[in-house]
Amino acid sequence: MPVKVSKNLPVKEILEKENIFVMDEDRAMHQDIRPIQICILNLMPLKEQTELQILRELSNTPLQIDVTLMRMGSHVEKHTSESHMANFYKTSDELRRHRFDGMIVTGAPVELMDFEDVDYWDELARVFSWVNTHVTSTMYLCWGAQAAMYYYYGYEKHLLDHKLFGIFSHRVYNRKTPLLRGFDDIFNMPHSRWTETDQESMARSEELTILAQSKEAGIALCMSENGRKVFNFGHLEYDRMQLRQEYERDKKKGVDIQLPLHYFPDDDPARRPYLTWRAAANNIYTNWLNYYVYQSTPFNLDGTPFGESLPDNYKE
């Protein structure tokens, strides 16, 4: 089934060339079906690249999905055109009375800053409060997961000795959890970050269910509230060449960056990287949509069981 997006969204053409079924608003209006409503809070600077990566993953289920793109109104984008943001994104204030079946909060390149020093932190905190009453299940990615851990549970992040950068092997835990249906005992996941959330706090928590962990990368996947919150500290949505692009970008900037581990064949950056995490990526998004979004959501979103009122800190 298709992902429904704006008919003028630039990445729509790329998805169609990849034989991914996307549907615009005009066609969707003629279908007698209530599509799954998904909101993507895109905090990454290169919006279109992240849109493409996540929409690829959302397309792999038999569900019709209606995607809404959210941005932080308190932040000025420097790497994506104003016209793209105005045409395809809505601010959190504009969406505060909307309800969604599912939400994805991406990472952001601000991990070396304290959370409260990020210019949109107050607005993001309001969104984290809002999802408790307006979203059935939310998946937090990389820095988005670290920020959510800090907001909901007070778990701090710590600077690593070096950037965690490459493709890492992870062991599956609690494999009877529906989110892990179809997973092998071991799977690969890309990581690209300078910080990590306090591992001891997460491991001791009675609120969190640890789902995947790596000897090199630590806890990579966990959830709380029976799947209403899913935390993914890696980047399963990354495409084959993403880590190469980041490596070349950092080298040009003069950053002291090592080769991404377990990525280039024979550690030769001239060779094409192997794609070893796509099956896991397809599984995680398909399982999330099926078991924690679709099967948990009411037919009428106005009848969501999570309450009718706005959060106290969401002022009119």
Q: Which residues are catalytic?
A: 142, 235, 237
**Rounded distance between C-alpha atoms, residue 3 and residue 26, angstroms:** 13
CA distances from 102 to 20, 117, 250, 297 (A): 21, 28, 34, 9
Output phi, psi for 262, to 5 deg.
60, 35
Name the nearest CA neighbour of 245 among 19, 44, 18, 83.
44
**Rounded distance between C-alpha atoms, residue 83 and residue 287, angstroms:** 34
120 and 74 Cβ atoms separated by less than 8 Å: yes
Phi-psi region of 262 (alpha: psi -120 to 50; beta: other; left: phi over 0): left
65 and 3 Cβ atoms separated by less than 8 Å: yes
The first and second tokens of residue 131, run together, are 């999802």
**Rounded distance between C-alpha atoms, residue 6 and residue 23, angstroms:** 8
